[in-house]
Structures are given as C-alpha cells and as structure tokens.
Amino acid sequence: MTSTVTGGPALSDTELDDLRTTVRSVCADVGGTAAVRRLPERSPGVDAELWDTLGRRVGLAALGLPESAGGIGGLAEIAVVCEELGRTLAPVPLLSSTVLAGQVLAGCGTADRTLAELAEGAVHALAVAAPDGTWRPDAVPVTVTWQGGAPVADGTAPFVLDGGDARALVVAAAGTDGVDLFLADPGAPGVTVRRVPTLDLSRGQAVVTFSGARVRALTAGGEGANVVSRALDVALVALAAEQLGGAQAALDMTVAHVRDRAQFGRAIGGFQAVKHTCADMLLQVEGARSAVLRAVDAAASHRALAEAAAVAQAWCSEAFVSVAAECVHLHGGMGFTWEHDAHLYFRRARSDAALLGGAAFHRERLAGLLSW
C-alpha cells in the first residue's frame, strides 16, 4: 500500500527532535499561551505574525504536502509539530490549512498553484462538515449545479476552521454524480463568510454561505468523497496529537502546582487523593501518547490508518477533557479565574472533543470499520 500522506522527504529521528525543539522554542519566544490572550476575545483567529514565523520561515505550512509543492515530511512530522503546538494552544492554522485543506488539495491532484500558495503560508480553509459537525457524504450541506458550463454553489457550510482568515475555500458539494470538491474565493460574489463566537479562544471558526457562487471544480465523478475521507484520517491523527500536547501541558502545570501549593504545613501533592488524581491524569496522557504513536505507525495503509485514527480520537478527545478538568479542579479557586491558563486548556479540550465528530461518533465508526 502507498502512504496515506503524500508528503515530501521524511526526517530522521535526529531531525524530528530538532524540529520539535525549534517549534517549542518559537512558541516559548512568543510567550506560550500569551499568544492566545492577544487575540480579540470576540473574534479568535490566526496570529499572523506567529504563523509567518512558523509557517513561512520554519516551513511548517508545507508539512506533509507533496514534494512538488515544496512539501516535507509525512504523518510522523505532522504529529510531532501538532503535539508541540497543542502544548501552548498556538493560534496558527496548521490543522485547518496545512493538514485539512492541504491534504484534500494534495489528494485532488488538480490544484498545483493553489497548493503551492498554501505551502508558502497562505491560509486556506476546508468546508465539508455536516450540520452536526461530522463528515458524512450523505449530509453535505452545499450543493452544486452547472450553469453555462460552470459550477455554481448554493448552501451553508458550518464549522469552517479559520474560515475568517482564509484566502481560498475548499468546498465539498453534492451534485448529480455525488460529492465533489470545488475551490471558492471567499471574496467573490455570492460568498458570505461570517465569523462566529467560539468556546475555544485559540481557534477561529466561520459559517460560509454560498448563494449562486461560481466555483472551480477540483474533482469530478463523485471522487471528492474519497479524497475527503482519506484526508480526514490524517487530520484526526493531527488533532489527536494536539490533544496529547494540551493534555501533557495541563498535567505538567498541575504537578508543578501541587508540589508548590501547601496546606496544613505540607504540599498538597502529598495528600493521597491528590496523588491518585495525578496518577490517573498521567495514565490518560500516556494512553493518548500510545494511541497517537500507533496511528503514526499505521500511515502506510489507508484501512489501518482509518481504524487507528478512530481509536486515537475516541481516546484522546476524552483524555484531554478529563485531564483539563482535573487541572482546573486541582488548582482550586485560582484555577477558575480568567487570569490563570487552566481555562484556556479546558476550552480547547471541550471544543476539540466535538471537532470532526466526538468520541462516540468515532467509536461507532470504528465498529463499522471492524465489522462489529
């Protein structure tokens, strides 16, 4: 089987470690979660300066993309970077643009110029979610008709990650031949992009409405559904890696706090109930790590990756929520304040738990893949 990620040359273990160190260093230089707090509260989106550094200068915008577009690395590299970005909740469009839109464009094979722009740092967004936020080819909310030999889109696409910052939109639309993919200009007549408030202050979303909008076809004959399904398996692993990074950061923050915080003359980390809770948090994090590593190892097979990606999401979504919630609780009253970072991780955890389908959705999908 060929690799599920049409990326460029793979990095060695040493190079992967260097990449991890570089991303961690850049995120630390901008103050970690301070980058999230600098975003407008009512309109979260992309930190353009941080993305220029990470996406263009470091080259992360081309991660996992074809070598012809300047891409480098595959799923292992994507997972390493996403884990590091998840540690600080970095508000950059790696998941939305490079992974989601990028993998879909790479799978189309007909969008070389658009893919090259994305690889250079231009933000593109993917509009494929059904009204419940999942990907289901039988519930695509946008339709396409052909008028005068040109495709025209109608409908409303919800949950478009970083749609308000996108230069181009990759849209799944249902037509007479099934689901195909189209490229839309967010500033074109008939296209309305509306930013929406989000629970997660570190990642923007938009609702995109098409009303007689002219678009450009990327696939034909209903092939778009297969392209999206394969790309989403890669994105699910990337999301799981982000969740792992966030859970690890929440655990580290909690352990540091219970070591320093004293009550009744001793550190609260010495109390049995606190120790047991921290041990449970560690088990959740290490389980998430195992699920991500297993998924990365399955990258050579579409079927194996689909199964491993479903497992990773079913586990990591719930693990991150659990760890982030305990992080808030073990910080006591301080953990509930706006000034502390605990709520930022809890917001991301709850948002990610519903992104691309929740744990229950992926357990059901896993059962279907295994013919249970």
**Residue 85, pLDDT score:** 97
Please, which residues have CB within 8 angstroms of residue 7's CB and are 6 or more apart in sequence? 63, 64, 65, 66, 67, 71, 72, 73, 74, 75, 77
What's the CA gap between 334 and 349, in Å, rounded? Answer: 19
Q: What are the pLDDT digits (tens) for 207-253?
A: 999 999 999 999 999 999 999 999 999 999 999 999 999 999 999 99
**Residue 1, pLDDT score:** 36
Instruction: Give ranges for CATH 1.20.140.10 in the chain.
Output: 225-369
pLDDT band for position 5 (cuts 50, 70, 90):
low
Q: What are the pLDDT digits (tens) for 329-341?
A: 999 988 889 899 9
Asked whether the predicted pLDDT for residue 186 surpasses 50, the reply is yes
Per DSSP, what are the bridge partners of residue 237? none
Instruction: Give ranges for CATH 2.40.110.10 in the chain.
Output: 126-224
> Per CATH, which fold does 225-369 belong to?
Butyryl-CoA Dehydrogenase, subunit A; domain 3 (1.20.140)
pLDDT band for position 270 (cuts 50, 70, 90):
confident
Q: What is the dihedral of CA 239, 240, 244, 245, to 10 degrees?
A: -20
**Residue 42, pLDDT score:** 59
pTM to 2 decimal places: 0.94
Mind giving me the DSSP string for 209-262? EEEEEE-EES--TTTHHHHHHHHHHHHHHHHHHHHHHHHHHHHHHHHHHHHH-E
**Residue 6, pLDDT score:** 57
**Residue 163, pLDDT score:** 95
Average pLDDT over residues 168-189: 96
Instruction: Give ranges for CATH 1.10.540.10 in the chain.
Output: 13-123
Asked whether the predicted pLDDT for residue 2 surpasses 50, the reply is no
**Residue 4, pLDDT score:** 61
Asked whether the predicted pLDDT for residue 3 surpasses 70, the reply is no
Q: What are the pLDDT digits (tens) for 8-35?
A: 678 888 999 999 999 999 999 999 999 9
Asked whether the predicted pLDDT for residue 170 surpasses 90, the reply is yes
**Overall CATH class of domain 126-224:** mainly beta
Q: What are the pLDDT digits (tens) for 49-96?
A: 999 999 999 999 999 999 888 898 999 999 999 999 999 999 999 999
Asked whether the predicted pLDDT for residue 41 surpasses 80, the reply is no
**Overall CATH class of domain 13-123:** mainly alpha
Q: Give the CA distances from residue 351 to residues 161, 192, 194, 272, in Å, rounded to whole numbers and listed in that order.
A: 12, 24, 19, 31
Q: What is the dihedral of CA 215, 216, 222, 223, to 10 degrees?
A: -140
Element (H, E) at 21: helix 13-29
Average pLDDT taken over every residue of the chain: 93
